[in-house]
């Protein structure tokens, strides 16, 4: 269980003004849940991730994992940013095992763990290629496998498919659901794409504009495993219309609701 209790963030501008980027936010996320955060740019989604990952200190509030405080602690969760950040001088297999190497897993053992997964998840035969030789979608697969193989219970994914074309993005969504189903990790996913958030998630959290705060938390009651055809179903369309209405509310109304 990951619990976020009243975290907020206030910055000081270059002119000495206090800027509230994130109003107090509280979320309890059970183990194995796939939760998506939707919200406009600047609402504090990435700030929440940075606080959970121990990269920033909150102005107020706490974050705990199974009751243990993790504020300011790095390495407790896995975190993937929008860019794949693969090291160009390392082969794909050497990129995928990087997190395990940092955790001091012997290289031979790390490769033995990773190779079957490269085969299973569409990177078989590319393990000795370099990032520049792969498509954007394949690089994202490698980066996601690297994140998963760090073997943390909570995975933070910050718009990992934002730079991909529509078809590749749809393929990667299907691929991610397969990986998530196999690894059984807790995933917190940030996206601006409402369809993506609904399709992937057990639950969607909608945030307001700055200062970011939770407007609504909505369970997604669509059966799993999910097929692509579900995006045209009446229930899916109703979820989409509902979230779009929330996201397009004037800020003052959204914050008051």
Which CATH architecture describes the domain 2-77+154-256? Answer: 3-Layer(aba) Sandwich (3.40)
Q: Where are the domains of the chain?
A: 2-77+154-256, 87-151
pTM to 2 decimal places: 0.88
Identify the band that residue 16 occupies on the pLDDT scale cut at 50, 70 and 90: confident
Instruction: List the beta strands (DSSP E) in the chain.
Output: 2-12, 18-29, 34-38, 60-65, 68-69, 78-80, 154-158, 186-191, 203-207, 214-219
- Write out pLDDT tens, residues 79-122: 988 788 899 999 999 999 998 998 899 999 999 999 988 988 88
Query: What letters, b where the CB count within 10 A reaches 16 and e where it falls short, cover 205-226?
Result: bbbbbbbbbbbeebebebeeeb
Q: Look at residue 243 in the predicted model and tell me its pLDDT.
A: 95
Q: Provide the percentage of residues in the chain whose pLDDT is more than 70.
A: 96
- Write out pLDDT tens, residues 193-249: 999 999 999 999 999 988 889 999 999 999 998 888 999 999 999 999 999 999 887
Structure tokens at 251: 């800020």
Structure tokens at 144: 């996601």
DSSP class per residue in 47-73: HHHHHHTTSS--SEEEEEETTEE-TT-
Q: What is the mean pLDDT of residues 61-69?
A: 93
Identify the band that residue 130 occupies on the pLDDT scale cut at 50, 70 and 90: very high
Q: What is the mean pLDDT of residues 8-20?
A: 83
Q: What is the mean pLDDT of residues 9-13?
A: 84
Judge contact between 208 and 39, C-beta under 8 A: yes
d(CA 64, CA 215): 22
- Average pLDDT value for the chain: 89
Judge contact between 186 and 201, C-beta under 8 A: no
């Amino acid at each position: 269980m990951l619990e976020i209790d009243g975290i907020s963030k206030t910055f000081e501008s270059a002119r000495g003004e206090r800027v509230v980027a994130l109003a107090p936010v509280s979320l309890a996320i059970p183990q194995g849940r796939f939760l998506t955060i939707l919200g406009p740019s600047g609402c504090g989604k990435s700030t929440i991730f940075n606080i959970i990952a121990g990269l920033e200190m909150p102005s107020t509030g706490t974050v705990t994992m199974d009751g243990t405080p993790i504020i300011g602690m790095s390495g407790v969760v896995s975190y993937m940013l929008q860019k794949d950040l693969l090291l160009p001088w390392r082969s794909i297999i050497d990129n995928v095992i990087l997190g395990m190497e940092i955790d001091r897993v012997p290289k031979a053992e790390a490769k033995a763990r990773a190779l079957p997964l490269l085969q299973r998840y569409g990177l078989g035969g590319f393990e000795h290629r370099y990032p520049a030789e792969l498509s954007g979608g394949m690089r994202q697969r490698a980066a996601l496998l690297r994140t998963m193989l760090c073997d943390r219970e909570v995975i933070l994914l910050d718009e990992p498919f934002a730079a991909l074309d529509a078809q590749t993005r749809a393929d990667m969504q299907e691929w991610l659901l397969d990986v998530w189903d196999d690894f059984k990790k807790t995933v917190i996913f940030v996206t601006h794409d409402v369809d993506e958030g609904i399709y992937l998630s057990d639950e969607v959290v909608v945030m307001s504009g700055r200062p970011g705060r939770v407007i609504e938390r909505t369970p997604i009651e669509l059966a799993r495993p999910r097929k692509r055809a579900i995006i045209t179903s009446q229930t899916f369309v109703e979820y989409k219309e509902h979230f779009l209405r929330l996201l397009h509310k004037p800020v003052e109304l959204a914050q008051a609701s």
